[in-house]
Amino acid sequence: MRITGGKAKGIQLKTLQNRSLRPTTDSVRQAIFSILQNMPSDWRRIADLYAGTGALGIEALSRDAEWVDFVDQSKKCCDLIKHNLEKTGFSNSAHVYCCSVSRAITFLSNNYDVIFLDPPYSLSAIDNVVATIAKSELVGANSMVVLCHTKRFSPNPVYGKLHLVKQFHYGDTFVSIYLIGE
């Protein structure tokens, strides 16, 4: 797994060798950032929730995001994210929170330009998490939520003030993009 664009393009990221972690593939990340570059949105401040290896957030930093808050509840993943941030030179542009996403939502108070949600495909409570995020201080007037999920999960078209505006699929991975609705 490598960074696909920007300042750190080509740098290989470390990943865990167990099957419980499903990193977003290089091609899906490249597609996500291609989509983001064509959306009318800033992406200076990023939240990478269910961060795993940190690949989505580190890709954003490589492509000129100013700050990323990473959240993962696994200590192994948090250590891995910190390692990958050091390897890519972005340690001073990020913070890693080693806790559940549900807990992080209660104390993170920044409006983020982009919120990445790439949960384990087996997570059954993702609807509740997205609904909670929609009501939280994480979402501002110009926020975009990027939800990666399996084709077996059908997200709602509306979560509070968040409205589904685009959906793409790459193999078994679907990417649903939400913006604030009118």
What CATH number does residue 145 fall under? 3.40.50.150
Can you tell me the distance from the alpha carbon of 150 to that of 179, in angstroms, rounded to the nearest whole number?
A: 20
Q: Which of 121, 124, 181, 132 is nearest to 157 (CA)?
A: 181
What's the whole-number mean pLDDT along residues 111-129? Answer: 88
Residue 55, C-beta contacts closer than 8 angstroms, at least 6 positions apart: 1, 3, 13, 23, 24, 29, 84
Given this model, what pLDDT does residue 71 score?
98
C-beta of residue 133 within 8 angstroms of C-beta of residue 105: yes
- Structure-block tokens of residue 141: 């007037």
Residue 137 lies in a domain: yes
Do the domain assignments include residue 179? no
Q: Does residue 162 lie in a domain region?
A: yes
* DSSP 8-state class, residue 8: T
pLDDT digits (tens, 9 = 90+) for 159-178: 999 999 999 988 888 999 99
Q: Edge-to-edge, what's the strand order for the sheet holding 139-150?
A: 94-98, 67-72, 45-49, 112-117, 139-150, 173-180, 162-170, 158-159
Residue 38 pLDDT class (50, 70, 90 cuts): confident
Asked, for residue 45, whether it belongs to a domain, the answer is yes
- How far apart CA 148 and CA 126 sit, in angstroms, is 11
Residue 130: inside a domain: yes
Number of domains in the chain: 1
Parent domain of 162: 26-172
Task: Say what the pLDDT of residue 42 is.
Answer: 77
Task: Kindly state whether residue 99 falls inside one of the protein's structural domains.
Answer: yes
Whether 98 maps to a domain, the answer reads yes
- Does the structure show a pLDDT above 70 at 62? yes
Look at residue 10 and tell me if it is in a domain.
no
Taking the complete model, does pTM exceed 0.95, yes or no? no
**Does pLDDT of 182 surpass 60?**
no
**Cα distances (angstroms) measured from residue 90 to each of 43, 75, 117, 144:** 16, 20, 20, 23
d(CA 92, CA 177): 28
